[in-house]
A and B are shown apart, each in its own frame.
Chain A
Amino acid sequence: MRRLLRGDMLPLLSNLVSRRLVISSLPSLPPAPLPSRREAHLWYVVPNELEDASLLQDYRELLSPCEKENILSIKGEALKKCAILSRVLVRTTLSRYTDCKVNPRLFKFRKNRFGKPEVERQIGALWVSSSLQFNISHTSSMIACGITVDVPIGIDIEEKQRKPVNNILSLAHRYFSPYEVQYLASFMDPETQQSEFLRLWTLKEAYVKALGRGFSGAPFRDFTIRFEKSTDSVVPEQPKSEEFRIMIDTAFDSENLTANWQFALVELGGSHLAAICMEKDENMSGTEQDFLKLKVWKTLPYVEDKCMSETDAVKNISGLS
């Protein structure tokens, strides 16, 4: 059966506009409860699992005219599919967090002054009551969307096995901070070095995306990500992890590169690394601040949603509470 209609799905609270625009055979999306202040939610889709051409066509209909035009300029079916899925993932995920009162088609986006996409809260006569923050990341084999409320979030995913074309230390010398270069150079085994490089890369990407400044607004060389061994006595309930904390150091005189950010690094689906960065909550005491709560779902919108938290598909490397 192509689409699963779940008994507990709420009816779509449609308005005249959406009824006129959407003559779709798509069922309603299940709503999702908002993340709490310390929580990040992550939804991911695996493009290879979409094989139904008519579903892809239905997905395409959810896109804005501008997005549809962008898709046209992309060459290659696989890339087109990923581009469509990327937009569909953002739109459907956001819709879930409005109790499905806002049809995915209706969201409008703007960019901050550095180009980071943000969602408009006013959509015609509708008003999205929570300040939903989102960030997307994609590889050819997975697309992910992170969601928080009020707090900026940045995510980055990479295939675990990704091997850079260039020499890793050359890349690090060129782009990373001296401390990070030294750290990477300390690994003799090329595979470990590659793995550590990817960890640093995804964490750094997640940070500049959370900041909303991007790569050139926050040059990678200007901040350092490092892994600090945790002392057990400080956090008695620390979950099974490699027992290190992800720390960030920014230059003393840097106004733009702030350090009050918390990080998590997880392995997703056994195949991907995912780094999540969100702003720390100053109201929390001490080391509580350092760990973030993460809930993860795997989705094929309108077909299936699976909660993956607490399963083997989400393996904490560091940073999760």
Chain B
Amino acid sequence: MATQDVGAGPRPSPAPAPAPFRITGTRELMLRLPRASPLVRLVSLSSRLTGCASRRERALLGAAAGVHHGRGTEGRETGKTLLWLPLSGAKMRNVFEVMLLLLLLLLPLVTAHAGGQPNSPPGKPVLTSCRSPEKETFTCWWKPGSDGGLSTKHSLFYRKESSDAVHECPDYRTAGENSCFFNKNNTAIWVNYNITVVATNSLGSAYSDPVEVDVVYIVQPNPPENVTVSVMEDKGWPFLRVSWEPPRKADTRSGWITLVYELRVKLKEEDDWETHLAGQQKMFNILSLPSGGEYQVEVRCRPDHGFWSEWSSTSKANVPHHFRRDNSTWILMTVFFAFTFLIVAWLLHLNRHNLKRCILPPVPGPKIKGFDKKLLKSGKSNEIFSALVVPDYPSTPSSNYEDLLVDYLEVYVPTERELQLEESKDPHDDRLKSDSSTSDSDSGRGSCDSHTLLVDKEAKEEARQAECGQTRTEVQRSLKDWDALTYAQIDMVGRDVPSGRVKTWPSLYSPLPRHSSGPLDQQSSLQMAKQHSLSTSSFLAQEASGESYWDVCSHGELPRPLRAKTPPHRGLRARSDADVSGAGLKRAPAGPRSLAPHTSEYVEVQRVNNKDVVLLQPVVTGCYQALPGEVYSKVKRVDSDNILLLQREAREEDGYPGAEQENTTQKASACVYAAVLVQDQMAPMVNGYVDTATMCTLTC
């Protein structure tokens, strides 16, 4: 408080206490008012004092008047208001009066200030929140502002969206202090409420900021109720089962509200909760309980589009202590097993070679001589197999295969002597007796022995020696039988056949067994001859030690001799001790048999008589010499009448084969070449062999 000595005025003694105002030397009146005291409206006073209130004064006073109660020191800094009022010295008495008046005025204010609430219009209330617990009702709360020292009344007004009517809150009490409760009748959903709170007191009213509320967005249900926790056991492991119910007021049964729940659990002594989301269900199992003790559980809920409720009251449960067979035990066991495993693996590693030998024994490789694994890998089969080939296996035949082929047949013709002998022995012997003594034991004729070809070298000799004339056979039979006997046709060389057909079959004739003896019926002999010829047909004589020959001697007119000639080397050995003769009429008494056994004799067809009988006669030995080159060993073809056309063997002389038939006339000699046997040329025949049986069937 600075005072200034201006004039000659008496120096005022320093004031013992600061007076509310002082009069300074200048003509200024300084009024100091207490800080918190409201200002007195001094406009009228000051204007009265000075007559003209300066603008500044008026502003100050106005500002002071406009300050709200309780707003603090707005517009006022020091609590001091200075009023400088210009004063004239002449009016000092008036000043004094003014001061007294001021004092009088200030006093009640001061006393009033020291005593109770200052009067001011209420402060602005604030709407804090509006909530609806079940989407059917809602409540709004506000926070009142300062009441201005007077009794302030708050009222809530609302206006619905589409109407302009303003309504007041129907219920201020239900929800407590500073609240407004809207019951079901007053609650409309999907409608915006414009809510305002007004605070009024005697001095004025204050309006809060309006708030737009749609009930459906402000739903916050009550906490769930009846939360029960029970301890249950699953395979010796305890767990908690929590169940609850939705808050009573929320209507979930009709689907009006859909609630979602959440719970939290902790041990009593812990601080952190473990939360679980339970969805819409009303029961939950807590499985992961670390240990025993007392557990605390709380549940809360929330609508699908709304706010979380408060946590329910805590439910407690005591879980018995259980052996914590989880973490530490498993860790120990794992470590132990890992350690053991490492040791075992190390041991195995050290002994891997032994183990390898034990578990996977070496597989023996292929030990084939000449087998080369590398060649096999290279994949060239030719080289592999050529390496495998042992030089001298298989044994290749030095000669060619043709040696193995039997291409001729030996027909054995028994000599007269033999026939006689045999006849004497047993005239009615079965002709089928095989002549084992004279048979050759080899040359691949195994089964052909008995009724088959009988090769006899000795017989050949004897046959040679036998006179042609002695043995005569008159073959008298039908052509058919002749077919049966032989099956080769020998071309006549320059012969005229009276009947036009000459058939001689010396070559492939299977002779009857040698010791067939006795006068035989021609037919039976022929039959035997058939049999022989059967076997003959399949038979190829290897041995060509003699000529194949016949000896058929026939009596009577035999205009033409037919010579059967076979090469000496490979010949047909016909051996027949059968009576090939015909009716045996003209048998030589000496020799019932016409055929010469064992001898190579030539058969000559003398004639073919009217009865279609070929009469044979022994051939002059001059014709003996076989032309070595002329070997008729191949059958060229078979005529329809079962006539075999023989041809010269192609092997020895080429070019000949076909010529034979044409050149028959050229031959000077009447030799007829006996055909040698068989094979492939007889295509129509079975297997290439001449099957006399079939021939017989064909012709018979």
Whether chain B is bound by chain A comes out as: no
Q: Which residues of B contact A (CB under 8 A)?
A: none
Q: Which residues of A contact B (CB under 8 A)?
A: none
